[in-house]
């Protein structure tokens, strides 16, 4: 029972002592893991370097040995070629082959072919080999082309069914012309030239291999791969480099798919590559076993240290239990302060800090009610609308000035009067309010509010987050609300007057140019077509001269009404000054603009005013153009439309002229109706 209680206390980490024990144990285990990890990393590097050095040495040694074997066979065949000479006598050549029967220790067979590629002699004699045509075979073309010793690509022997290569040297006439070749056949089994490779031991999974530069396997522990294409070449870039002539060491993916150490060396006389391969898992196996043993040794040691650490921590933390007891007594009012009989500076500082905080708390409690009463008086007496909100976004207080401004009764639920915010402003204000709550930024917004008596107010609201200066804790928001309805109405009137003609109610030059700039910007961004009409009034001067300015103003007002009626709601009509007018047609093609211009010309031509029994009428000379990709600014468009208007006047007035950057007769033909 006592042992079970000990275990329960030992592994209970809800207490400070348990957590300290956990922290010490975790720190020790972390230190052990760090040391073992560093040992593992350093060990891996050393193991890899050692194995790489061994593979490099073995690969170079094997490549040198195979190179010597190939060169020895080249030399033996060249000596045989010198003994045979340039004769074409098959009997003599067969006799010489038999006399050099010792060459069969180096080759499985020897053949001699003439300049046409026909085999004229072989040893040992195999039925059907003499007379065989090799002129179309790869090694015959290479020997005839390069005219030096050559090792063929692997092939399967017809008689033996075994993969083989042919080691050949060219024969020459006395004039130095190609006269055939002498070739020795080598079997690609584990004996012969590759006998040394079969004896290489690279652990349980390590192996050596030989391949041609063209990617054919000559030797591999798996016989099924011999004479096949090199597998996994695309996934092993180092093997691909070795096939191109590179020598060196690297880490890459093996045929089995796992990562391994690789070393490559070139057999230059034969155009072969020797490769040695060892899986990384095999190379690191001894190191992994060693690290595992060290790990379990340290784990057992840490577990054995648990009871000792538990006892030591209990002794160290005894003064902390005394501090806990005295703090409880202060809370119950049995003590005014805490006092510890310990030399631990940390606990003495905790006790001193607690006593100071308790004194400050008592002082703050005494001042809190006074400050709260003072704040309530200030808010209630303020003539400015003010409110207080918590960090959830709920408005918890509104002063009388704000309640009177909004026409809200005290105690009205927040959900009811929030619906009185104008629908167009409600979502934007809500998003800004939530953003201020999340980020602590100021809430600054102007919105419309509909009072219960249907009076629409424009409100300017500015709320700021209240944060304690000591710890940065956020208490809520305090806001100020101003009624700016009169100011907004005055600003709207001023904006309208700044951009409109007081006589006709149309846009003036400033308002028209601003909308023209906006349409031109849309055209540059999205290629939205827009058209521009500019015109002035023909025969308008007599109206002013004979009927006076009042009659002229009346004519201008009537024309403005007709033009505004004829165009679309989305179009912009302007009186730019005097009798000059402009019409901007957004999202309008040239053909549509032409039709609208003709409609305006006809409609305005029907307007008249009468003075002293005389009727006055005017006509329009309209210039039409559209935005073009070559336009750099709106001045180009205005100049083009203005030029079209002047051209219409020059053509007799009362007309429409389309003026484009590439204007020609074909442009006007677009508007001609078939007759």
pLDDT tens profile 501-529: 888 889 889 889 999 999 999 999 988 89
The residues, any chain, with a CB within 8 Å of residue 114's CB and separated by 6 or more, are 88, 120, 179, 180
DSSP calls for 27-50: HHHHHHHHHHHHHHHHHHHHHHHH
DSSP state of 229: B
Is the model more confident about 21 or about 423? 423
240 phi and psi angles, rounded to 5 deg: -65, -40
Q: What's the predicted TM-score (pTM) here? A: 0.45
Is the model more confident about 163 or about 593? 593
68 phi and psi angles, rounded to 5 deg: -65, -40
DSSP alpha helix (H) spans, 138-180: 138-146
**Alpha-carbon gap, residue 194 to 270, rounded angstroms:** 13
Q: Which residues pair with 616 in a beta bridge?
A: 609
- Average confidence score pLDDT of the chain: 83
Which of 202-216, 227-241, 334-348, 593-607 has the highest average model confidence (pLDDT)? 593-607
The residues, any chain, with a CB within 8 Å of residue 132's CB and separated by 6 or more, are 118, 119
Rounded mean pLDDT, 114-121: 91
Beta strand pairing status for 155-156 and 572-577?
Answer: unpaired
- Is the model's pLDDT at 664 over the cut of 60? no
- Is the model's pLDDT at 64 over the cut of 50? yes
Rounded mean pLDDT, 204-211: 84
- Give pLDDT, residue 667: 44
- Give pLDDT, residue 670: 45
Residues of the chain above pLDDT 70, percent = 92
DSSP state of 455: -
Instruction: Give me the torsion for CA of 29, 34, 38, 43, rounded to 10°.
Output: 20
Rounded mean pLDDT, 252-256: 80
- Give pLDDT, residue 592: 93
- Is the model's pLDDT at 6 over the cut of 60? no
**Alpha-carbon gap, residue 535 to 624, rounded angstroms:** 9
- Give pLDDT, residue 488: 78
- Give pLDDT, residue 469: 64
For the ranges 11-15, 380-384, 502-506, which has the lowest average pLDDT?
Answer: 11-15
The string of pLDDT tens digits covering residues 142-151 is 999 999 999 9
The residues, any chain, with a CB within 8 Å of residue 243's CB and separated by 6 or more, are 211, 213, 214, 215, 230, 233, 273
Confidence of residue 160 (pLDDT cuts 50, 70, 90): low
The string of pLDDT tens digits covering residues 469-504 is 666 677 788 888 888 877 877 877 778 877 888 888
Residues of the chain above pLDDT 90, percent = 22
- Is the model's pLDDT at 290 over the cut of 90? no
């Amino acid at each position: 029972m006592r042992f079970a209680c000990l275990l329960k206390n030992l592994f209970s980490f809800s207490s400070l002592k348990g957590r300290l024990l956990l922290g010490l144990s975790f720190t020790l285990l972390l230190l052990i893991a760090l040391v073992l990890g560093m040992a593992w990393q350093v060990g891996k590097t050393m193991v890899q370097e050692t194995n790489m050095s061994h593979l490099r040495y073995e690969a170079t040694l094997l490549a040198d040995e195979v190179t010597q074997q190939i060169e020895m066979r080249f030399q033996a065949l060249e000596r045989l070629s010198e003994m045979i000479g340039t004769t074409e006598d098959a009997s003599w050549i067969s006799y010489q082959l038999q006399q050099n029967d010792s060459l069969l220790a180096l080759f499985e067979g020897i053949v001699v072919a003439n300049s046409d590629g026909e085999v004229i002699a072989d040893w040992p004699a195999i039925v059907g080999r003499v007379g065989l045509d090799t002129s179309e075979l790869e090694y015959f073309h290479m020997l005839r082309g390069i005219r030096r010793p050559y090792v063929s690509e692997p092939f399967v022997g017809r008689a033996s069914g075994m993969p083989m290569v042919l080691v050949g040297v060219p024969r020459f006439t006395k004039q130095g012309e190609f006269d055939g070749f002498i070739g020795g056949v080598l079997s690609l089994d584990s004996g012969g030239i590759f006998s040394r490779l079969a004896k290489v031991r690279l652990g349980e999974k390590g192996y050596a291999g030989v391949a041609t530069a063209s990617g054919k396997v000559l030797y591999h522990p798996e016989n099924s791969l011999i004479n096949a294409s090199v597998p996994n070449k695309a996934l092993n870039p180092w093997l691909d480099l070795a096939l191109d002539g590179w020598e060196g060491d690297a880490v890459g993916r093996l045929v089995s798919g796992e990562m391994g150490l690789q070393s490559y060396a070139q057999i230059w006389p034969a155009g072969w590559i020797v490769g040695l391969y060892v899986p990384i898992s095999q190379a690191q196996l001894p190191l992994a076993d060693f690290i595992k043993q060290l790990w379990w040794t340290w784990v057992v040691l840490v577990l054995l240290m648990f009871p000792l650490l538990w006892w030591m921590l209990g002794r160290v933390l005894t003064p902390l239990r005394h501090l806990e007891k005295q703090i409880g007594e202060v809370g119950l009012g049995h003590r005014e302060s805490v006092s510890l009989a310990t030399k631990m500076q940390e606990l003495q500082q905790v006790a001193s800090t607690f006593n100071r905080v308790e004194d400050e708390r008592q002082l703050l409690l005494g001042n809190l009610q006074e400050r709260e009463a003072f704040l309530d008086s200030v808010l209630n007496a303020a003539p400015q609308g003010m409110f207080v909100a918590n960090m959830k976004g709920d408005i918890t207080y509104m002063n009388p000035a704000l309640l009177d401004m909004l026409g809200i009764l005290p105690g009205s639920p927040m959900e009811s009067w929030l619906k009185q915010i104008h629908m167009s402003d409600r979502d934007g204000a809500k998003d800004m309010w939530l953003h201020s709550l999340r980020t602590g930024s100021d809430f600054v917004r102007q919105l419309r509010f509909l009072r219960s008596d249907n009076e629409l107010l424009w409100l300017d609201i500015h709320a700021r987050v209240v944060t304690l200066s000591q710890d940065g804790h956020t208490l809520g928001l305090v806001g100020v609300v101003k009624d700016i309805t009169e100011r907004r109405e005055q600003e709207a009137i001023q904006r309208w007057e700044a951009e409109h003609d007081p006589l006709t109610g149309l846009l003036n030059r400033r308002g028209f140019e601003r909308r023209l700039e906006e349409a031109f910007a849309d055209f540059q961004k999205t290629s939205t077509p827009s058209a521009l009409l500019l015109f002035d009034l023909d025969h308008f001067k007599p109206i002013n001269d004979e009927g006076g300015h009042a009659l002229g103003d009346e004519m201008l007002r009537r024309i403005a009404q007709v033009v505004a009626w004829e165009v679309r709601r989305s179009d912009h009509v302007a009186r730019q000054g005097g009798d000059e007018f402009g019409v901007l047609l957004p999202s309008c093609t040239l053909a549509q603009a032409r039709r609208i211009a003709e409609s305006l010309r006809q409609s305005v031509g029907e307007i008249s005013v009468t003075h002293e029994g005389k009727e006055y009428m005017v006509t329009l000379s309209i210039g039409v153009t559209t935005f073009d990709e070559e336009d750099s600014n709106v001045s180009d468009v205005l100049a083009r439309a203005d030029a079209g208007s002047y051209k219409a006047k020059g053509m007799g007035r009362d007309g429409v002229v389309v003026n484009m950057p590439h204007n020609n007769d074909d442009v006007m033909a677009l508007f001609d109706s078939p007759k």
